[in-house]
Chain A
Amino acid sequence: MDATLTNQSENENIWGGGNKPLNASYGKMMMWFFIVSDALTFSGFLAAYGFSRFKFIESWPIADEVFNHFPFLHGVDAPMYYVALMTFILIFSSVTMVLAVDAGHHMKKNKVAFYMLLTIVGGAIFLGSQAWEWKNFINGQYGAVETRGGQILQFVNAETGKRVNLSSFAASIPTDRSQHKAKNGVWYVKESTLPTYSVEEITAGFLANDNLLIKTQQNDGQGHKLVLDREGSINKITQAVHVVEGANLVRNEYGSPLFANFFFFITGFHGFHVFTGVLINLIIFFNVVIGTYEKRGHYEMVEKVGLYWHFVDLVWVFVFTFFYLV
């Protein structure tokens, strides 16, 4: 605890202000205290995620079955690879940020600007990747139905055990049901977009196709979902009340609605941090380029935004673990 030792020079007055017992400047210390409070916010979110997950431990979606896309590999089951790539992008942009801070300590203006620029580019690529991840999550891939009790039923091929797209078996039953829009009828009353297929079409198609089974939300304890036999499946399909394609805040084709809610909220909040981080980095980058810190005599501002940027990386490490790995 060396802060209790006096570290002032002879002529400095302890009560006169200006001394730094923790040897950190005001701005840096406040950035750290902000980071501490923000870390508590994120841990609150992740702990709440853990709460919901332990509450529905038997039916929580399996991440490998949800996030299995990779750019340019359509239909290939590639869990983890994409999010691992995103992690590397963020860690790498963290490294360029430390290099910028280090160059700042040596007062090398051009090097600072170059590394800041790389950091900004890294952050932008990460944001784009996250947008793509969200797009896949929201659009979904196979579709499912929801029962009256709120259970999600997915469809699998009896032989291969792989999931089956709704469009590949849905029967065609013509209907004149159309989306209710605000411009027709009572003012300000409307409904969301209708699913591509009706429950009747899915049910008829399912009954006509003997090769289909239903995959329930229940986990078997070995990292797989329980698949019903044909009889159980036929029994279950009669309880379907909604066709679910993709994900929104009310229901999603992956399972528990809370899963999608936490995914949107936590990765969204983290993405918002990345976005503000990129903006702040941009401002500091321009300040570096026009020589503000060269005139000031030190690059501590780069160090402070660096702390924020690393914090964003730090949070991602935890989000990665709790959403994709565990």
Chain B
Amino acid sequence: MAVEHKLSIFRGRLTFKSVTQKIWGVLIFLSILTIVEVALGIFKPQVLMNTFLGMKLLNWIFIILTIIKAYYIAWDFMHLRDERRSFTSSIVLPLLILIPYLIFILLLEADYIYNVMSDGFVSWNF
């Protein structure tokens, strides 16, 4: 079964000559992202400690970088890039819809419980 491979990443800005080259290219990209994450995690710049939309900027950066890494692992290592769009969608869409929904419900509820415990009449620190 001859499989057709798409060899471009970054929306066609970077094209590799062979699949092997693309794999190493993606590895380098993932490594850079991980090194950035670790460096930020160790140094924790003061600027990024400001809160934005209920979370520290630093944590937003970590989560966004993680999702970018997940995208490249799924698209290039798990070669979703080479699959049909309908197949890709049937895999990715359920996750993209259900997971944010679950996170939204649980975190909102947790925040509510936190508020009840800290402001309400229920004491847990006795």
Contacts and interface: CB of A to CB of B under 8 A. Distances in A.
B65 to A, nearest CB: 8
B17 interface: no
A100 B41 CA distance: 33
Interface string A43-73: 1100110111111111000001000000000
Contact of B66 (A80, A95, A317): A317
Nearest to A33: B91
A249 B113 CA distance: 23
B102 interface: yes
Contacts of A202: none
Contacts of A318: 66, 70
A45 B62 CA distance: 19
Interface in A85-101: 87-88, 91-92, 94-95, 97-99, 101
Interface string A288-326: 000000000010100000110011011001101100111
A105 B111 CA distance: 50
Contacts of B49: 222-223
Given A52-B110, A92-B27, A325 B78 contact: no
Max chain B CB contacts within 10 Å: which of A50, A149, A321? A321
Q: Could you tell me the dominant secondary structure of chain B's interface residues?
A: helix
A95 B73 CA distance: 10
A246 interface: no
A148 B69 CA distance: 44
A196 B95 CA distance: 48
Contact of B94 (A36, A321, A324): A36
Contact of A310 (B59, B62, B73): B73
B72 to A, nearest CB: 10
B14 interface: no
Nearest to B3: A105
B110 A23 contact: no
A36 B91 contact: yes
Interface residues of B, number: 54
Contacts of A324: 41
A36 B89 CA distance: 12
B13 to A, nearest CB: 21
What size tier do the contact residues of chain A reach? 35 or more
Contact of B78 (A48, A56, A64, A310): A310
A220 to B, nearest CB: 12
A270 to B, nearest CB: 15
Contacts of A56: 114
Contact of A3 (B66, B87, B111): B87
Contact of B109 (A43, A51, A94): A51
Contacts of A279: none
Nearest to B69: A317
A37 B110 CA distance: 25
Contacts of B91: 32-33, 35-36
B126 A148 contact: yes
A97 B27 CA distance: 12
Contacts of B23: 95, 98-99, 102
A21 B90 CA distance: 13
A198 B95 CA distance: 50
A48 B106 contact: yes
B77 interface: yes
6 contacts: A22-B87, A40-B98, A47-B107, A222-B49, A314-B73, A314-B78
Interface of B: 1, 3, 19-20, 23-24, 27, 30-31, 34-35, 37-38, 41-42, 44, 49, 59, 62-63, 66, 69-70, 73-74, 76-79, 83-87, 90-91, 94-95, 98-99, 102-103, 106-107, 109-111, 113-114, 117-118, 124-126
Interchain residue pairs A-B with the least CB separation, the first 3: A54-B110, A3-B86, A51-B106
